Structures are given as C-alpha cells and as structure tokens.
Amino acid sequence: MRENDSAGRLSLRKIAIPAFGPSLLFGLGEGAILPVVALSSRGLGASVAAAALIVTLLGIGSLLSNVPASLLTAKYGERPAIIVAATMSMFAMVCCGLAPNIWVFAVGIFLIGAASAVFNLARQSYLTEAVPVQFRARALSTLGGVMRVGVFAGPFAGALAIQLMGLSGAYWVGAAAVVAAGAVAWTLPDLVHPYSSRSAAPAPPPSVRSLLVSHRRVFLTVGLGVLLVSAVRASRQAVIPLWAENLGLDAATTSLIYGLSGAIDMLVFYPAGMVMDRNGRTWVAVPSMLLMGLALILMPLSTGAGTLLLVSLLIGFGNGIGSGMVMTLGADYSPSCGRAQFLGIWRFLSDVGSSGGPALLSGLTAVATLSIGISATGVLGLAAAAALWYWIPRNAPDRGAAVLRGPSEQRRTTQTTRRSGRGPGLRR
C-alpha cells in the first residue's frame, strides 16, 4: 500500500503543471470576457433582452456540446480534445473581438461555450484515468479550484486590456490565455490503460444510448442530486447582487461582498478534496449543500451589508468545499470502457441544472417575490443534500485508473499504432 501511495503521489506531481495549468489559463480566458459579453452585445446594437439572451448562449453552447464532446474525446483521446478545444476557443474569441455585427458575435459566444464543454470534459476524463483513485478527489477538487482562480483573476486582466484597447481588449486577453492553455496541454503525457490488452482486439466503445440504459439507476439517483447541486450553484451567482440591490446597497459594497464570498470559495478546495479521499464523498457533498441551502434560506432575513456579508461568506464556504464534487462523483461512477461518453451525459445533467436554477429563480421572483425565489433555491439545496446522503453510499464507485505512459512506452505504442494503421492519439 505504501508503494502504491508513493507512486500515486509521484504521478500527481508529474502531471501537476500540464494538467492544472491549462485549467487555470482557460479559466483566466473565460473570466476576462464574462463581464463584457452583455456590454459588447449592446455596443453592436442589441437590445437589453437580446443582450441577456446572448449571454445565455455560453451555457447553451456548453449544454448542447457535452455529448458530442464525449464522442470526440472517446475517439481521439483527452490530450487532442483539450488542444482542439483551446484552438476552437481562440478562434471564437478572435471572432468576437472583430465581430462586425451582432450575428457574428452571437456565433462566437456560442462556440466559446461549445469549446468549454470539450475542454472541461476532456480534462476531467484525463485526470480520472491518470490519477490513482486514492487521490482522485484531491486532483479533481484542485482542478475545479484552479479553474475558479482563473475565472476570478480574469476580469482584472481583462480590465487592464480594456483600458488600452477598448472592449475588444478583453477578447484578446481571452484568446491569448486559451492559446497558452493549449500550449501547456501539449505537454500532457498520453495514457495507457491497465485494463486494456495489446494482444486482444479492443472492444467497441459503448454508445451513449446503451450507457443511458445500463447506468439509468445512477443517473436517476445520484444524477438527480447533481442536477440539484448545479441549480443551486448557478443561482447563487445571481442572488447576492439581487438581494444587495433589494437592500439598497451601492455597487461598490455589492462588489466587495461578492468578491469576499468568491475569495472564501477559492481557499478551501484542496482540504475538501483530502476529506473526500480519506473519509468518503458524503462527508463533503452533504455539508456543502446543507450550508448553501441554509444560507440561501437565511438570506431574505438579512437587513444590511453586515448580515448579507455573513450569509454570503457561508455560501462561499459551502460552495468552496464542494469544489470538484460533481466531477469526482462522475469519475467514481463512470465505467472504464465508455468513460468519456458517461461523463458527457453527467455533464449534460449538470448543465441542465445550471440552466434551470436561475430560470426557476427568475420565474418565482416574477410571480411572487425575490425573497420567495431565494428561499426556494435554498430548499433545492436541502433537497440536494438529502438526495446525495441517501444515494451516494448505495452505488459502488469504479476503482479503475490508468497509468502514465513513459517516453519509451510512448515510442513503442506509436510504432505499434503506425503499423496497425491507427492514429497515434488513439488509446483503445
């Protein structure tokens, strides 16, 4: 066991920069453009409603591309998919920066969302297979954490570029960041799967439909919990500024509260991953949703900046300890054969929740009040905690993991695949 632990630590250190570096840079690129998408739309002549719709194209592009992204990753491998996603995102950001009209700009935003789906799925699949299972939660929590750090830092880099080049400067920062992400990802080592046999012909990968049928119990149980988790997480980004405005707080105070909540969010991802690895997933998943749910229920009771700050910090802490939780659960339940396709379905469920949460908040606010909408979102958090507590222990996770391919192994495999007519990036 000690040898296995040592080997696991060595593997995790070996891939740290090429695995986590692209996520930091990709997050930086997305963070640079997020604050200016609506402003750019307005500058190109869009109405307020149309600008809001264009902002949603990021999520729509990701939602519709999760399953195609899984097929791309399964066919060509994780590293090529990450590089393709970075290239695609770069061209889309340049398209947005040079867009002559709102239609070209909208296409660019949609493609950025689609590229994000490919990138996120491929990086999750890669770490799931590369890192030993005893370090899986730490690796995926770190993956989610560094992405958040990048998104947090992106607006500052974008603001500096905007001062020099106008709104288009944010897209040039984004393009440069994703190009750098692709360049770092180029150094990722390929993977060799211990369950594969060189002498035997590889089994055909399962279809998305067959995985839906064979894993329907997981999707209808833990998958439902993940959908609720994503709904609560997506809604939290809107409730803090909306309630701050309801309390009559100025923009500077609102930004400070939101920023402090985000800072707490970024500080606790690695300890949470350690707890998940050592004690089990429920020790983090359930408290994360309980804290967020209770904080959202308490938010309408806040009466000023001080009480709103306390509630927002609790939301940030709850969300922070859940960093990588959805990815870890998806990795645990994904089969070794067909992993990418499974994760595509898993991320689709997550994106449905991310789209549905804010829509529910908006609908309840329109027909009732903002406080009722926020409280209902908090109830979703409690429901997510209950679903995860009940279902996670009742589905045994897959314990398979891939190993990294060394230089000599890479050369041998490349020669074998060339003689057999298969591309060098194919792993199965």
Please tell me whether residues 186 and 213 are part of one structural domain: no
Q: What is the mean pLDDT of residues 381-387?
A: 95
pLDDT at 110 over 90: yes
Listed in sequence order, the residues at least 6 apart from 256 whose beta carbon sits closer than 8 Å to its beta carbon are none
Within a domain: residue 59? Answer: yes
pTM metric for this prediction? 0.81
Q: How confident is the model at residue 384 (pLDDT cuts 50, 70, 90)?
A: very high
For the ranges 71-75, 297-301, 379-383, 387-391, which has the lowest average pLDDT?
71-75
Structural domain span for residue 376: 208-401
Q: What is the mean pLDDT of residues 295-309?
A: 93
Task: Report whether 316 contacts 299 (CB < 8 A).
Answer: no
Please tell me whether residues 232 and 96 are part of one structural domain: no
Angle at 30 between CA 267 and CA 83, to 5 degrees: 105
Please tell me whether residues 164 and 281 are part of one structural domain: no
pLDDT value of residue 250: 84
**pLDDT tens digits along 181-238:** 999 988 877 665 544 444 455 566 788 888 999 999 999 999 999 999 999 998 888 8
pLDDT value of residue 130: 81
pLDDT at 114 over 60: yes
Q: How confident is the model at residue 298 (pLDDT cuts 50, 70, 90)?
A: very high
Please tell me whether residues 245 and 362 are part of one structural domain: yes
More confident residue, 12 or 327: 327
pLDDT value of residue 156: 87
**pLDDT tens digits along 238-263:** 888 888 888 988 877 887 888 888 88
Within a domain: residue 339? Answer: yes
- DSSP state at residue 309: H
pLDDT value of residue 428: 29
Residue 354 corresponds to which tokens in the numbers above? 């991310």
Please tell me whether residues 125 and 252 are part of one structural domain: no
More confident residue, 6 or 427: 6
Residue 78 corresponds to which tokens in the numbers above? 């994780």
pLDDT value of residue 317: 94
Within a domain: residue 240? Answer: yes
pLDDT value of residue 420: 36
**pLDDT tens digits along 351-379:** 999 888 888 888 888 888 889 999 999 99
Residue 55 corresponds to which tokens in the numbers above? 């902002």
Please tell me whether residues 345 and 241 are part of one structural domain: yes
- Which residues make beta-bridge pairs with 191? 404
| Domain end among 156, 191, 226 | 191
Within a domain: residue 419? Answer: no
Please tell me whether residues 125 and 225 are part of one structural domain: no
pLDDT at 143 over 60: yes
Give the per-residue SS3 of 176-242. Answer: HHHHHHHHHHCCCCCEECCCCCCCCCCCCCCCHHHHHHHCHHHHHCHHHHHHHHHHHHHHHHHHHHH
Q: How confident is the model at residue 15 (pLDDT cuts 50, 70, 90)?
A: low
Q: What is the mean pLDDT of residues 145-173?
A: 89
| Domain end among 191, 223, 251 | 191
pLDDT at 394 over 60: no
Tell me, what CATH number does 22's domain have? Answer: 1.20.1250.20
Within a domain: residue 340? Answer: yes
- DSSP state at residue 322: T
Number of domain units in the chain: 2
